[in-house]
Structure 1
Amino acid sequence: MVASVYCFLVVVLAGAQAFQPDDGDWRVENRQLQQMMMTFAEEMKTLKMKVEGPSGERGERDVAGNGSGGSSVYIRWGRTTCPGDTDASLIYDGIAGGTHFTHSGGGANYVCLPKDPEWGVFTDGNQGTPYMHGAEYQLAYGNSPFQGGALHDHDVPCAVCHVASRGSKLMIPARLSCPSGWTREYKGYLMTEHYSHYRSEFVCMDEDPETRPAGQGNANGALFYPVQAACGSLPCPNYVQGRELTCVVCTK
């Protein structure tokens, strides 16, 4: 609306400038009218700026012509560091935790707890509300896909990683490679709670997991088991009955 009025005034002003009568009085009045129209046009221009606001700066664009890529955050399960070859930086390394495997309530996901908690208002002692437990590897069934030292009953570390240049993240089960154009952050094996326990979530445990210092012992809590393929509604082939599933975490 403001823009339409402004354009109309400009047209009128141009016509007034083109009309130059011979009579001196009319010339004086015409100049006065022109001055009034120019003043009014400036006021309308100022009003237009107040209503519409100044133009914003153009956002940065990447080399492909797309919008800025943004950033993403992911958890690297089983490790205390972020990958050294993907430009990922460590926000913090912590302790894998979750709901006790025998509890039907509580959270249904694993979390990466910081090692230095900060407390607000609290009441010491157990009040029967949900509890947060640490997590352990459970690899006593002879099917550990991990190479290296024994991991069974060891506490699980985790690392929260930040990628500044890639705004999308994706965990792909049953794959070790990322789609074209994506960056592989890390690869490993799919893990979750035992099928006879209460449900949790599927996470990608790093293929070369670490353990927390002095964290060995059958304290239970939240537990991590390797996930195996089960043929039936899951097609075999290409899946294979009882084979441990891989996973990969990708960013773009």
Structure 2
Amino acid sequence: MACYDRYRNGIIPGRTGGKWYEQDGNGANYLCLPETPVYDTVEDNVQSYRGFVYSAEYSTSEFPPLSSVHDHDVPCAVCEVNRGKILMIPATNICPSGWIREYYGYLMSEYYNRGSPTEFVCVDRNPDVVPGTGDNRQGVHLCPVEGRCDYDRGSLPCGPYVNGAELSCVVCSK
């Protein structure tokens, strides 16, 4: 599998985008946006009844392994594989027997108590950043995800899961 981003390989110039961090509406998924958009028909000013897209930034100040990327914008990556199946597995960094590990890192999503949900994504343990960024602009966040096993409803089983431990993830191909 080969992953290309603007800052490594120059194949697909882009950045990650999504909703504003406190909005209840808009889409829930992260987007891979081109650095140079191409517009069709547009209105001249901001409209009331529209969805909005903002840049994504890492929100990792309280997670030492990734604190150096905190508030930096997130480049997007497009990955290509000649194998037919790709699988992201949360809460492990090991692929099943017969699968090839492409990369591993940390499970991330928007902060649990902000606006509408986002998808869970696997971010490489050595993430890239968009150069020249680092200011907190309150776009959609990518925050480490912790497992919860100390609540009455919907809890993971304590023992195998550690309450409050950041979950790893792995991307495998076959």
Shorter chain as denominator, the TM-score bin is: 0.7 to 0.9
Per-residue CA deviations over 1:181-201 (Å, capped at 9, x if unaligned) read 111111100011111112111
Alpha-carbon shift at residue 91 of structure 1 (Å): 5.2
Indicate yes or no: 2:71 matched with 1:153.
yes
Q: Which residue of 1 aligns with 2:133?
A: 215
Instruction: Measure the CA separation in 2 of the matches of 1:208 and 1:171.
Output: 17
Structure 1: 5+ residue stretches without partners: 1-71, 83-89
Instruction: Measure the CA separation in 1 of the matches of 2:21 and 2:161.
Output: 28
Q: Kindly tell me: are residues 98 and 108 of structure 1, through their superposed partners in 2, closer, same or farther at Cα, counting changes over 3 Å?
A: same
Q: 1:24-43 alignment to 2 at 5 Å?
A: none
Q: Which amino acid aligns with 2:162?
A: V
Indicate yes or no: 2:27 matched with 1:110.
no
Q: Which residue of 1 aligns with 2:80?
A: 162
Indicate yes or no: 2:168 matched with 1:246.
yes
* 1:192 counterpart (93, 98, 109): 109
Alpha-carbon shift at residue 80 of structure 1 (Å): 4.4
Question: Over aligned residues, Cα RMSD in angstroms?
Answer: 2.3
Alpha-carbon shift at residue 92 of structure 1 (Å): 1.4
TM-score (norm 1): 0.61
Q: Kindly tell me: are residues 145 and 239 of structure 1, through their superposed partners in 2, closer, same or farther at Cα, counting changes over 3 Å?
A: farther
Instruction: Measure the CA separation in 2 of the matches of 1:160 and 1:80.
Output: 12
Indicate yes or no: 2:95 matched with 1:178.
yes
Instruction: Measure the CA separation in 2 of the matches of 1:75 and 1:127.
Output: 36
TM-score (norm 2): 0.87
Alpha-carbon shift at residue 178 of structure 1 (Å): 0.9
Segments of 4+ in structure 1 off by > 3 A? 78-82
Number of residues of Structure 1 aligned to a counterpart in Structure 2: 168
* 2:20 counterpart (78, 100, 118): 100
Instruction: Measure the CA separation in 2 of the matches of 1:109 and 1:75.
Output: 20
Q: Which amino acid aligns with 1:120?
A: D
Higher relative contact order (CA 8 A, sep 6+): 2
- SS of the residue corresponding to residue 116 of structure 1 reads coil
Q: Tell me if the contact between 1:145 and 1:189 (Cα under 8 Å) persists in the aligned partners.
A: no
Alpha-carbon shift at residue 117 of structure 1 (Å): 1.4
Q: Tell me if the contact between 1:79 and 1:206 (Cα under 8 Å) persists in the aligned partners.
A: no
Q: Which amino acid aligns with 2:134?
A: Q
The answer to which structure has the higher helix fraction is 1
Q: Which amino acid aligns with 1:196?
A: N
Q: Which residue of 2 aligns with 1:62?
A: none
Q: Kindly tell me: are residues 200 and 247 of structure 1, through their superposed partners in 2, closer, same or farther at Cα, counting changes over 3 Å?
A: same
